[in-house]
Amino acid sequence: MTTYKILAATGCPTGIAHTYMAAEALEQAAKKKNISIKVETHGQVGIENEFTEEEIRNAEVIIIAADKDVQSERFAGKRVIEVSVGKGIKEPDLLIEQALEGKGIIRKGTASQTAGSSTETRDGTGIGHAIYKHLMNGVSHMLPFVVGGGVLIAISFLWGIYSAEPDHVQYNAFAAMLKTIGGASMGMMVPVLSAYIAESIAKRPGLVIGFVGGLVANNGGTGFLGGIISGFLAGYLIVLLSKLFKNLPKSLDGLKVIFLYPVIGVFVIGVVMTLLSEPMSGVNEWMMDFLAGFENSNPLILGIIVGCMSAFDMGGPVNKAAYVTGTLLLAQGNTTFMAGVSAACIAPPLMTTVAVLLFKDSYSKEDRNAGLVNFILGSTHITEGAIPFAAKSPLKNIPIMMVGSSVAAVLTYFFKVQVPAPHGGFLVLPVVTHPLMWILAILIGSIIGGVLLGIVQKSSQKKEQI
């Protein structure tokens, strides 16, 4: 069996490009030094080239170049150099040099440790990157559910807006089945997000607590933000419990993982999220009433409000308040309000597409690929595709997306577009009043937002190079 002097694990939030670019860069850097290295990748297809226990035991140093969880608790007691996946791509030679020079930190804990390891200090990174890593671990697992479910729901509307309603003349059994399947997939979004944020923080013991917290948050109407809150609360709750129970006899480790963590964790997170859900749901209802009051107001004011709310948290309670209000008004025969909401929800992903096309040199290959995929997601009313872009610089990118969505919504109202479907994006164009004007409104908002995103990205890139 080959003995590797250096092991490296790479992983990026989406698990598509950066994961493998970092792996290749580290392999080439090690080859220049004539050093043996094995790189384990944590991509969208799962773990590839996985380390064996013997390889970990014999390795002198382990490089972690990742922005997501790579099961680093396995490396307890080993010398570890931990950086972002971007540094693995840009500075592989430096990382190999540091590995050979004996730099890094000895990872605390034992190899059998299952919770609490995420609280250790990272080499060269801070708490901000740790939070980002945990969040992106949740997002990367959530996105396939959103994409699969959202597209199936959109396709179901091709048979008619009411094709899933058994008592309606438009009813179609296949369309109803598609909507049911798509709805089930979309319904998993918040629980999966919460679960894998918690799993990133506290490993397997955090997974079940995160799932339950996410389900309670979802049922309570807290949306995307509720999933984030429950995920972090669940993860750090397990970390706290692991510290409280650390003095229990070693023979009770199985009891902690199988009984104490799940029972106490599920109870605490369930109670906390239940208590949080009611006030957050109340805030949602207040915002719905507030929006309904603007139903027949000035198109400029209404468009700005709807645009800002739709792009503010992209699937969270603020976004959902606008969406649910539009859906409720549809039931009352108002198809104008939903037109602006849909435009504002479609625009953010399309902005990222515009940005990566016009400013391709300012974005990584992974971002460019994600931006192109977002054209499909945006076209089918899946706003969440823009979340990874927003999360990288929320204080800059979210306001820009709010501006672009507001422009799209304002123009939609000025053009008197009517959209009688609560979902579906461009797939429901056959039932839209003034469909070409609606597309024009969305494209104008997306281009304005995309250009602004690209300018900010280019400016940030120049600052990093100075």
- What are the residue boundaries of the structural domains of the chain, listed by start? 6-113, 115-280, 293-466
The pLDDT confidence band at residue 344, using thresholds 50, 70 and 90, is: very high
**pLDDT > 90? residue 20:** no
Is 12 one of the annotated active-site residues of the chain? yes
Q: Does domain 6-113 sit in CATH 3.40.190.10?
A: no
- Output the pLDDT for position 247: 85
Lowest mean pLDDT among 18-22, 97-101, 396-400: 18-22
More confident residue, 411 or 245: 411
pLDDT, tens digit, 9 for 90 and up, residues 193-224: 999 999 989 888 899 999 999 999 888 877 66
Confidence of residue 392 (pLDDT cuts 50, 70, 90): confident
Consecutive H or E run containing 66: strand 61-66
So what's the pLDDT on residue 17?
Answer: 66
Report pLDDT for 208: 93
What CA dihedral angle connects 180, 184, 186 and 189, to 10 degrees?
A: 180
Annotate 244-302 with DSSP letters as a single string.
HTTTS-GGGHHHIIIIIHHHHHHHHHHHHHHHHHHHHHHHHHHHHHHHHTTTTS-HHHH
Q: Is the pLDDT of residue 122 over 60?
A: no
181 has pLDDT over 90: yes
Tell me the backbone φ, ψ of residue 276, rounded to 5 degrees.
-75, -30
pLDDT value of residue 406:
96
Return the pLDDT at 253: 72
* pLDDT given for residue 345 in this prediction: 92
- Return mean pLDDT, the chain: 84
* Structure confidence by residue, pLDDT tens digits, 124-171: 456 777 887 888 788 778 877 876 776 787 788 778 778 888 988 889
Structure confidence by residue, pLDDT tens digits, 40-50: 998 877 789 99
Q: Which of 6, 8, 9, 12 is catalytic?
A: 12
How confident is the model at residue 71, as a pLDDT?
83
Sheet of 61-66: strand order equals: 46-48, 37-43, 6-11, 61-66, 79-83, 105-106
What pLDDT score does 114 carry?
A: 45
Beta bridge partners of 40: 9
Q: Over 90: is that where the pLDDT of 51 sits?
A: yes
Whether the model pTM is above 0.75: no
Q: Is the pLDDT of residue 297 over 50?
A: yes
Strand 61-66 relative to strand 105-106, pairing: unpaired
Mean per-residue pLDDT, 88-106: 90
* pLDDT at residue 182, as a whole number: 87
